[in-house]
Amino acid sequence: MTVLEQLLPTVRRHRDSRTRPPRWRGKNNEGVLLLVTLAMLAVIMAVDPGAVSASLAGDIVRAAMDNMALALGVLLILLSGGIDVSFTAIAIFGGYATVTFMLDHNLDGGLWPFVVATLIGSLLGLGNALLVAGFRLQTLIATLAMQSIVWGSLLAFVGSTYHSTLPPALARTGQSQLLRLGDSPVSTLVVPVALIAVSLALVLRWTMFGRSVYAIGGDAEAAKRAGIRVGRVQTLVFAAAGALAGFAGMVHVTLVQHASPYELVGTELSVIAAVVIGGASDAGGRGSVQGTVLGVLLISLITNSLVRLGVPSFWQQAVEGLLILAGVAIQAQSRRRRTHRSPILEAR
Amino acid sequence: MSSSASHQAHDAGGAVIAGPAGLALQARDIGKRYGGIVALRGVDLDIRAGEVHCLAGANGSGKSTLIKILSGVEAPDTGQITVDGQPLARLGVLDAMVRGIQVIYQDLSLFPNLNVVENIAMTSRTAGRARIVSAGSGRKIARQALDRLALGNDVGIELDADASDLTVAHRQLVAIARALACDVRVLFMDEPTTTLTWREVDTLFTVVERLRSEGVAIVFVSHKTDEVMRISDRITVLRNGQVVRSDAAANLDRRALIEALTGQVEEVRAPQAGAWRKARAVMRVHELGSPTLFRDVTFDLHAGEILGLTGLLGSGRTEVAEAIFGLVPRPTGTVRIDGTDVPGSSVDAAIDAGVAYVPPDRMTQGVFLAQSIRRNIAAAWLRQTSRHGTRLSAKSVDRLVERMTASLNIKIGRASDPVRSLSGGNAQKVVLAKWLATNPKVLMLNGPTVGVDIASKAAILDILRERAAGGMAVLLISDDVEELVNACDRILVIRKGKLSQLLEGEQISIERVREGIVT
């Protein structure tokens, strides 16, 4: 027993009787994440006082938009106790195939291509669901296979040419501005992305489907015994994640104003990193939309600052790796805290 | 509490409800195969409203399969299930729930990541085919269910706590509350007392008796004969997937029950030898203390002795053992093995000093479930052997596995099968084998026969006696009073983190030990 503990029995008792972390930390350490983000901003401010401005916010949001939609899909799958590495392939399939079809058939539109890409994504997501819920494959194996199949089919059957321009109406959607933050324009597409985030948060919190996703991620066998149709929920989860990926692919294509089948694929880990940093457990059942949104924004902020500070791009990868490590470490730490022992001896 | 008084009370109530119309659930000719293995064959079962029906049987006798079939989790290959006089072609999980059939599984099947409210409200929501959840209704359901247990205030279960943060006893109450949240008519309880101390068992039985008086049919699965005799109105015994006896509890005594369960007559135990008195003290624990957990724990453990350590759940019995093994810090006091000081907070140091520890939760701490029996048995031995610099050969591992399975009489298919494929009793023997293979000086076991059937339990206690006779020092941590009285030379009682009593020789009796635990 340390001197401090002997001197301060009341302090010790108080600490020991604490069973849960303070409220501000949030259920999945969202509070910690917010603090880290603020600390990050403070550092940027110290290094380059002029950098923290409305334009910075605009830049971060613009860079984070397609990742946000992807990350929300990944969150769904992590919550249900699985993992997905096929979503980037599904995303670029949705975006690139739709644009290619439009160009080949001289079609144009500002809105319906998003619907088409979303539908394509949900169909491909159903492919994942078939493997996972139907054939009971492990999600990592199933989605790894799907990633290769989807991307391979895209290159083989749809094409591999680079489309440097989009159909005009679609291009206009990508260029449309909702508002300007400083010098930085914010695309109108932020509205559907934000709506998706809010509705997903509501669905996860207040619908039986949402709670079933958490339940399955917590213990799939217990969920089955409690009368939850596990296969059905998994199918919906993968279809929804696929739909989100397809939509995100179209957001990406319209924002960058060109379509290439070689984009997005390969960035899976940084999206998964954002979700894990946002407090989602790799073991399933824990995580939140709020955390994921913060995680995506934090990664976007860090990437942006590294560019601003002139850090070479390969360092950005290393930093992302460190962030994943930090995110997982914080989770492990809080899990260890949970298993602490309650006192047996009566206080003297 | 007085069980006889409550028994009479229910007898009066039960007579009112009983009758041919009171048949809540009826199963006829249930059969089920898994691959080539017959799990159930021609099983008939009648469950009446307002009765406690005990389903007894050794591990692997088909009890769990029968529960899964009657609750709709698995479909039977043959047979007919009738609920409330209505024959059903197919019984799904939701059908079963809607008809008031609820199961409290042995592992409780709670969601560790959801809070108490959601855990309790989950089944009533799925059964009600809810689409939207509201926090308010959930709290109401949870509070009502906990109140029905009349324990809402006493036990202080925090409604917002995650299930993973609750103690085992609280988790069990939450599981019961979840069943009560639905309109339960038939309640299956699969070995509900395994993780409870007998005092908590009393509370559980009070709840069971209340439910019975409300007309709920309770199917109670247990290995423990005294519990079965105490709570049941009717007993059905399964052996190898078949019903060997089904009778009113009044027509069966303890002996007859054991005979039906195991197919053999109970052996009478040989008296304790007491040879330890002349033996040296292998382990000397002196004034061991850990802030907030326990203090001033002092005892000697002799070669050839089986020393019991008992107390209520949360009395510190597990913590003391874990402190000796280096899992819990122990800033004050010393542990000496054969005169050498064992440093605290290091499992390695404890193992090197010759201490082995069989943890209470074998499924998560004792074995690597998915790994082979061979690897599990060799796990602790390998470490010891490789440390001495001996070259390992596959043959020496095979010999070890052969020796251990033979000497502990572990029934296995192939040594390469995963431990998961074994029944509870055999899995526990694998855990024992793992540590016995290292030939420890001090063997500490925490609840070694929890969830193990009567025959395997007797076998495990025999192994301990045999090893002690060979000079091993055994510390048996348990709350199974019968087992302690049967096996131990001396019994230490711990209460609120302090040793309160040491019983030996003539002092050891079921009554004395029970008394010691609570006072």
- The residue among B96, B17, B20 whose CA lies nearest residue B51 is B17
How far apart CA A208 and CA A219 sit, in angstroms, is: 16
Confidence category of residue B492, pLDDT binned at 50, 70, 90: very high
How far apart CA B145 and CA B505 sit, in angstroms, is: 46
Identify the pLDDT of residue A6.
Answer: 36
- b/e burial code for range A279-302 (CB count within 10 A of at least 16 → b): bbbbebbbbbbbbbbbbbbbbbbb
Q: Is B133 on the interface with A (CB under 8 A)?
A: yes
CA distance A286 to chain B (A): 7
Amino acid identity for residue A282 in this structure? D
Specify whether the CB–CB gap between A229 and A318 falls below 8 A. no
Identify the pLDDT of residue B442.
Answer: 95
Among B118, B122, B328, most A C-beta atoms within 10 A, so best to mutate, is: B122
| Region B294-305 average pLDDT | 93
Dihedral sign from CA coordinates of B101, B46, B223, B63:
negative
Give the Cβ contact number of residue B362 at 10 Å.
Answer: 23
How far apart CA B358 and CA B401 sit, in angstroms, is: 18
Cβ–Cβ below 8 Å for A345 and B112: no
Encode pLDDT of B47-65 as tens digits: 999 999 999 887 667 888 8
Cβ–Cβ below 8 Å for B93 and A227: yes
How far apart CA A264 and CA A89 sit, in angstroms, is: 7
CA distance A226 to chain B (A): 5
Identify the pLDDT of residue A185.
Answer: 86
Specify whether the CB–CB gap between A251 and A118 falls below 8 A. no
Give Cβ neighbours of residue B430 (< 8 Å, ≥ 6 apart): B367, B373, B376, B377, B410, B419, B422
User: Can you state the percent helix, strand and coil of chain B, rounding each to 5?
Assistant: 40, 25, 35
Neighboring chain B residues of A206 at a CB cutoff of 8 Å: 132-134
Specify whether the CB–CB gap between B127 and B94 falls below 8 A. yes
Q: Is B319 on the interface with A (CB under 8 A)?
A: yes
How far apart CA B427 and CA B365 sit, in angstroms, is: 12
Specify whether the CB–CB gap between B484 and B513 falls below 8 A. yes
Neighboring chain B residues of A12 at a CB cutoff of 8 Å: 291-292
Range scoring the smallest mean pLDDT among A60-69, B277-286, B381-390: B381-390
Cβ–Cβ below 8 Å for B105 and A225: yes
Cβ–Cβ below 8 Å for A1 and B332: yes
Rounded to the nearest 5°, which phi and psi values hold at A131?
-70, -40
CB-nearest to A286 from B113, B118, B132 is B113
DSSP string, A273-312: HHHHHTT--TTSS---HHHHHHHHHHHHHHHHHHHHTT--
Dihedral sign from CA coordinates of B10, B12, B13, B17:
positive
Question: CB-based burial of residue B207 (10 Å sphere; 0-12 exposed, 13-18 middle, 19+ buried)?
Answer: buried
DSSP string, B195-246: TS-HHHHHHHHHHHHHHHHTT-EEEEEES-HHHHHHH-SEEEEEETTEEEEE
Neighboring chain A residues of B133 at a CB cutoff of 8 Å: 206-208, 210-211
Amino acid identity for residue B39 in this structure? A
Give Cβ neighbours of residue B473 (< 8 Å, ≥ 6 apart): B282, B283, B301, B302, B303, B304, B305, B307, B441, B442, B443
Q: Is B118 on the interface with A (CB under 8 A)?
A: yes
CA distance A39 to chain B (A): 30
Residue B340 β-bridge partners: B337
| Region B505-518 average pLDDT | 81
CA distance A82 to chain B (A): 15
Cβ–Cβ below 8 Å for B293 and A19: no
How far apart CA B99 and CA B66 sit, in angstroms, is: 18
- The residue among A326, A316, A271 whose CA lies nearest residue A296 is A271
* Positions in chain A short of pLDDT 70: 1-22, 331, 334-344, 346-348
Confidence category of residue B252, pLDDT binned at 50, 70, 90: confident
Encode pLDDT of B122-177 as tens digits: 988 988 888 888 878 889 988 888 887 765 445 578 888 888 888 777 888 899 88
Q: Is B314 on the interface with A (CB under 8 A)?
A: yes
CB-nearest to B291 from A5, A210, A211 is A5
| Region B65-81 average pLDDT | 91
How far apart CA B29 and CA B219 sit, in angstroms, is: 18
Neighboring chain A residues of B158 at a CB cutoff of 8 Å: 19
Neighboring chain B residues of A342 at a CB cutoff of 8 Å: 167, 314
ipTM field: 0.83
- Using CA atoms, how far residue A214 sits from A23, A28, B117, B271, B341, in Å, is 21, 13, 14, 55, 49
Residues of A in CB contact (< 8 Å) with B are 1, 5, 12-13, 16, 19-20, 206-211, 214-215, 217-219, 221-228, 281, 284-286, 338, 341-346
Identify the pLDDT of residue B117.
Answer: 93
Instruction: Give, for B308, the enclosing helix (H) or strand (E).
Output: strand B306-310
How far apart CA B133 and CA A317 sit, in angstroms, is: 41
How far apart CA A326 and CA A303 sit, in angstroms, is: 16
Cβ–Cβ below 8 Å for A345 and B161: no
Residue pairs between chains A and B whose CB atoms are closer than 8 Å? 111
Q: How many C-alpha atoms does B370 have within 13 Å on its Cβ side?
A: 0
Neighboring chain A residues of B316 at a CB cutoff of 8 Å: 344-345
Cβ–Cβ below 8 Å for A224 and B165: no
Question: CB-based burial of residue A39 (10 Å sphere; 0-12 exposed, 13-18 middle, 19+ buried)?
Answer: exposed
CA distance B131 to chain A (A): 5
CB within 8 Å of chain A, chain B residues 57-76: 71, 73
**3-state SS of B314-356?**
CCCHHHHHHHHCCCCCCCEEEEEECCEECCCCCHHHHHHCCEE
| Region B189-216 average pLDDT | 81
Rounded to the nearest 5°, which phi and psi values hold at B495?
-140, 125
CA distance B413 to chain A (A): 26
CB-nearest to B126 from A221, A228, A341 is A228
Can you say whether residue B316 is alpha, beta or left, with left for phi > 0 and alpha for psi between -120 and 50 degrees? left
Cβ–Cβ below 8 Å for B114 and A218: yes
Identify the pLDDT of residue A213.
Answer: 97
Encode pLDDT of B429-465 as tens digits: 888 899 898 889 999 999 888 777 777 888 888 889 8
Specify whether the CB–CB gap between B125 and B133 falls below 8 A. yes
Confidence category of residue B249, pLDDT binned at 50, 70, 90: confident
Give Cβ neighbours of residue A340 (< 8 Å, ≥ 6 apart): none
Cβ–Cβ below 8 Å for A19 and B292: no
- b/e burial code for range A200-236 (CB count within 10 A of at least 16 → b): bbebbeeebbbbbbbbbbbbbebbbbbbbbbeebbbb
Identify the pLDDT of residue B155.
Answer: 58
- Which tokens go with B404? 């251990």
Confidence category of residue B514, pLDDT binned at 50, 70, 90: confident
- Which tokens go with A339? 């298993």
User: Can you state the percent helix, strand and coil of chain A, rounding each to 5?
Assistant: 70, 5, 25
How far apart CA B444 and CA B323 sit, in angstroms, is: 12
Kind of pairing between the strands at B101-104 and B186-190: parallel
CB-nearest to A211 from B133, B167, B293 is B133
CB within 8 Å of chain A, chain B residues 156-175: 158, 161-162, 164-165, 167
Neighbour order of strands in the sheet with B306-310: B355-358, B442-446, B473-477, B306-310, B490-495, B498-504
- Which tokens go with A185? 């324009």
Please provide the average confidence, as pLDDT, over all residues in chain B.
83
Rounded to the nearest 5°, which phi and psi values hold at B431?
-60, -45
Residue B245 β-bridge partners: B237
Orientation of helix A230-256 relative to helix A112-129, angle to 10°: 140
Neighboring chain B residues of A224 at a CB cutoff of 8 Å: 73, 93
Encode pLDDT of A183-203 as tens digits: 888 899 999 999 999 999 999
Identify the pLDDT of residue A343.
Answer: 66
| Region B313-328 average pLDDT | 89
Q: Is B127 on the interface with A (CB under 8 A)?
A: yes
| Region B354-381 average pLDDT | 82
Neighboring chain A residues of B113 at a CB cutoff of 8 Å: 214, 217-218, 281, 284-286
CB-nearest to B496 from A206, A219, A346 is A346
CA distance A308 to chain B (A): 40
